[in-house]
Amino acid sequence: MSNTMHSTPTYQDYRDIRISASSYLILIEQEDDAVLEQIRGHLGEATPYQLLIQPSADEYGLEAVLHALTQYLSQAKAGVHSIVVGNETFIWKIQRSLTQLGCLKEEFTQILHTDGQPKKQVYCVHCGHQQITQEKEYCTCEQCKVHLMIRAHFSQRLGAYMGVCANVHQPLGAAS
């Protein structure tokens, strides 16, 4: 039996980018010269691209990137291919915006790149709260306090893994 579910997201790397678009939009969560050089080297020097880097790791930085993305795509001509590089939370928020702006799944590449501590967006199926965690298997919902098992099931619509009650007999974790 396979360890991954059909819904578990898969990511590409820079070598998977097809050199066929008229221009590229590179969106990077954190500035990383090595990753950028790999992408530039793969695209070639003659390939036109626009670079957007999240200016800070908070929501204001993400909002700035989303605003710049909207501005760029509203003026761009057909044939732009977006390359999104960052952690899963960043990738899926950008992916959601690209889709809302009319981009097709084939028009962007998702490259997972973390700073050593991968972060997951977890959706609590009990209260609907979404939170970011660095845990791999279990976490506690920030809102309803239910101890959650983080399933391998990933919702692309929500951009999050499903968190379900880890122990129905003791939903709020171990008694203190």
Q: Which CATH number do you get for residue 48?
A: 3.40.50.80
pLDDT of amino acid 176: 43
Nearest-angstrom CA–CA distance, 154 and 71: 30
Which residue is listed with tokens 């690209």?
98
Identify the CA nearest to 84 among candidates 93, 72, 75. Answer: 93
Q: In the predicted model, what is the mean pLDDT of residues 124-140? A: 93
Instruction: Please tell me whether the overall predicted TM-score, pTM, comes out greater than 0.75 for this model.
Output: yes
pLDDT of amino acid 66: 92
Domain assignment of residue 147, given as a range: 120-165
Q: Find out whether 83 and 113 touch, Cβ atoms under 8 Å.
A: no
Query: Are residues 51 and 78 part of one domain?
Result: yes
pLDDT of amino acid 119: 82
Q: Is the pLDDT of residue 95 over 60?
A: yes
Out of 110-114, 115-119, 161-165, least confident range? 115-119
Residue 126 lies inside a defined structural domain of this protein: yes
Q: In the predicted model, what is the mean pLDDT of residues 109-124? A: 86
